[in-house]
Structure 1
Amino acid sequence: MAKAVATKAGFYGAKRVQPGETFEVQDGETGNWFEVEEEEAPKKKRGSSSDTAPSELV
């Protein structure tokens, strides 16, 4: 499920959604009265060796 924010009043399922309200939609769902929020990427662990090249460790 993805989160969406209503830009205009509308219906999703049997629920009336007002502008500014946040609600859940099925993945891949689109509409002209709401915008799907981007999910935040998981944060990298601190000190991970994958984000520092070996030449930078000197």
Structure 2
Amino acid sequence: MTEQEAYQEHIRYAHDTYCRIVIRHASFDAARMLAGGVALIGTTLVPLLSGLFG
């Protein structure tokens, strides 16, 4: 394996790991929003639209 190939493999691995973490955190946020009816946007708690009209 050349140095170029090793570097490309490292970049692919790092990108895949980053994507897995982002998706995992998004799923936690979605579950939290569904369970509590509140979304955290920045540092402000905002009721979900379904909570406003329900």
TM-score calculated relative to the size of structure 2: 0.18
Specify which structure has the bigger relative contact order, considering alpha-carbon pairs within 8 angstroms and separated by 6 or more residues: 1
Q: Relative to total residues, which structure has the larger strand share, 1 or 2?
A: 1
TM-score by length of 1: 0.18
Richer in helix (by share)? 2
